[in-house]
Amino acid sequence: MKKRVQTNIPGLDELMAGGIPEGHVVMISGLPGTMKSSLAYNILFNNAKMEGKKGLYISLEQGRDSITDHMACLGMQHTDVESLLSIVDMGYLRLHMDEHNGGAENASWIDIFKMYAENMHEKTEYELLVIDSLPVIELMARMDDRRNDLFHFFGWLRELGVTTFIVSETSEDAGKVLEEDFLSDGIIRVKKERQGQDISRQLVIDKMRSTKHNTGLFTLLHDGKEFRLTRAIGE
Ligand SMILES: Nc1ncnc2c1ncn2[C@@H]1O[C@H](COP(=O)(O)OP(=O)(O)O)[C@@H](O)[C@H]1O
Ligand SMILES: [Mg+2]
């Protein structure tokens, strides 16, 4: 039996036999505002705080300060886990690369990304990685053969030997099967629904390899301090 990474989100680990198998590449998918980034960060934060596990959060779309401010609003002070959880803003790096070479050498951007993640792995030996987000990786790497490029990207991730969460902005309503959905080991999908004046969020585990997992729809709640999952109303 493989060891599992616990999310430590009340209600979630028990839906997937105790957690996510180590080494998995898991998609966290949903439309903007479904709290994907918050959820991914929360998993790293909990693992740092409760298990002493090291994590790396690579952001490509949101600045570092914006992330730490938002997470603080959700009861997660980065200063509490600073020595274990690194946040890097690769979007910033990309912007400045373009300034230096006038937008040339775009093909090598993904190599710089990989080199950075590998070097950090050698240096800090992080066990958990978040990449936020896949659409921005594609944009920055100018993937023109999506199927082939993603296949190699996922292969590289598996060789890195960490457990990875990839944030993706897709919705299942798009009506087609995406490469990342069959390349990944797991898919956690978050949905948003308007209920009168309020928005309610739902979570479903669509896929988790090597795991007997629940496939039901659960309500994702956040009380300003922590996430919690409950049975969706009407289920
Ligand atoms: N206490 C809170 N402070 C700030 N935002 C919150 C809070 N509770 C819920 N949110 C929601 O978090 C959302 C942003 O979360 P985020 O993880 O960035 O979403 P995503 O990555 O899916 O776009 C906001 O749209 C807001 O509705
Ligand atoms: Mg986000």
Is residue 38 lining ligand 1, measured as CB closer than 6 Å? Answer: yes
How far is Cα 172 from Cα 191, in angstroms, rounded to an integer? 10
Confidence (pLDDT) at 234: 60
Q: Note the residue count of the chain.
A: 235
Residues flanking ion ligand 2, Cβ below 5 Å: 37
Taking only the tens place, the pLDDT of each residue in 186-199 is 999 999 999 899 99
Would you call 93 exposed, middle or buried from its count of C-beta atoms within 10 A (0-12, 13-18, 19+)? middle
Helix (H, G, I), strand (E, B) or coil at 6: coil
Which of 29, 36, 37, 38 maximizes ligand 1 atoms within 8 Å of its Cβ, making it the mutation to test the pocket?
38
Architecture of domain 4-231: 3-Layer(aba) Sandwich (3.40)
Cα atoms in the 13 Å half-sphere on the side-chain side of 227: 28
To test the ligand 1 pocket, which listed residue (29, 70, 194, 203) has its Cβ within 8 A of the most ligand atoms?
Answer: 70
Instruction: Please work out whether the CB of residue 36 comes within 6 Å of at least one atom of ligand 1.
Output: yes
CA–CA gap between residue 155 and residue 202 (Å, rounded): 30
What is the rounded CA–CA span in Å between residue 114 and residue 190? 28
Structure confidence at residue 101 as a pLDDT band (50, 70, 90): low
What pLDDT does residue 177 have? 84
In the chain, where are the structural domains located?
4-231
Could you give the CA distance from residue 14 to residue 150 in angstroms, rounded to a whole number?
31
Q: Which SS3 state, helix, strand or coil, does residue 175 take?
A: coil
Say how many Å lie between the CA of residue 5 and the centre of ligand 1.
24
For residue 152, the model assigns a pLDDT of: 96
> For residue range 118-131, what is the model confidence (pLDDT) as tens digits?
999 999 999 999 99
